[in-house]
Structure 1
């Protein structure tokens, strides 16, 4: 009989490292760079840069990402029924920087199309996933969003990566 596990709500032990050390250790893990976009019922568009994107399940098709609990865009994403995860291409570092900034209209001058549900899909992204906002889980200082993928598309181009606090690209080590 399978055993269930319980989720601990508090750490058992205090960490023996500080936040800066932890962040530097995390920076050694190269991640893809995404811009997650949504559009409110009133038509206001919101987007942010995130490197916390992961696949969860093939059946049903689920993905996840996280957003800081104090993020200014949190209400837009918690209130939205859908959002799009745009995976950026190697030549889109300026777009990643723009959506990571605090400028008021991040979409000004940005080329995008609208999905079937009216969500912004950034042109030039190497993949995009339009998701139903399935569930959210507050954990630590972030909220984890789980999205059920309704539509997706991709084009085989080099991805934009983030490693060691900088944008990088890929060079294959072995043939595919």
Structure 2
């Protein structure tokens, strides 16, 4: 069990580890778009094509993601840092603040991301205070853009280039 000093050290170490920034979206039972900012995204498997992300059990949208069985992961482009703020706030109609549309699969797609992965939930795993969502990628779009990065509690970019 971690004590407070260990917890602080753990957070400091991971906060100094640059990661990409993503927004995951889905729809609720009434077809309304739901989404939140994440930085816990990674690829998992090439065969089958699987990705994973996690959500805190305290999140107000966890049940929607569990019930829907499908979601979209948007890897944000370097010019989308305002979306991080919008999708991190509570009690805000996030989708009224942005440009988006429904995909052919009736999932909310945010315009301008450098990569978009439409997924069906393959498996969920309870792990500590989070649930891990593993998604089977059913459709994807990738644009030649630089990603938005999270480092030391800030978002930004560096010129990384793109290689397909």
Compute the displacement of 1:103 (Å).
2.8
Compute the displacement of 1:82 (Å).
1.1
Question: TM-score when scaled to structure 1?
Answer: 0.87
Give the SS at the match of 1:41.
coil
**Moved >2 Å (runs of 4+):** 14-18
Greater fraction helix: 2
C-alpha contact 1:36 1:47 (8 A) present in aligned 2: yes
2:99 counterpart of 1:111: yes
Compute the displacement of 1:81 (Å).
1.9
Give the SS at the match of 2:140.
strand
2:122 counterpart of 1:140: no
2:98 counterpart of 1:80: no
Greater fraction strand: 2
Give the alignment partner of residue 124 of structure 1, picking from 66, 89, 112. 112
Compute the displacement of 1:152 (Å).
0.3
CA RMSD of aligned residues (A): 1.7
Question: TM-score when scaled to structure 2?
Answer: 0.93
Tell me how far apart the structure 2 counterparts of residues 143 and 82 of structure 1 sit (CA, whole Å). Answer: 15
C-alpha contact 2:86 2:97 (8 A) present in aligned 1: no
Give the SS at the match of 2:137.
strand
C-alpha contact 2:77 2:112 (8 A) present in aligned 1: yes
2:79 counterpart of 1:60: no
Gaps of 5+ in 1: 1-13
Tell me the matched-pair count: 162
Tell me how far apart the structure 1 counterparts of residues 29 and 58 of structure 2 sit (CA, whole Å). Answer: 22
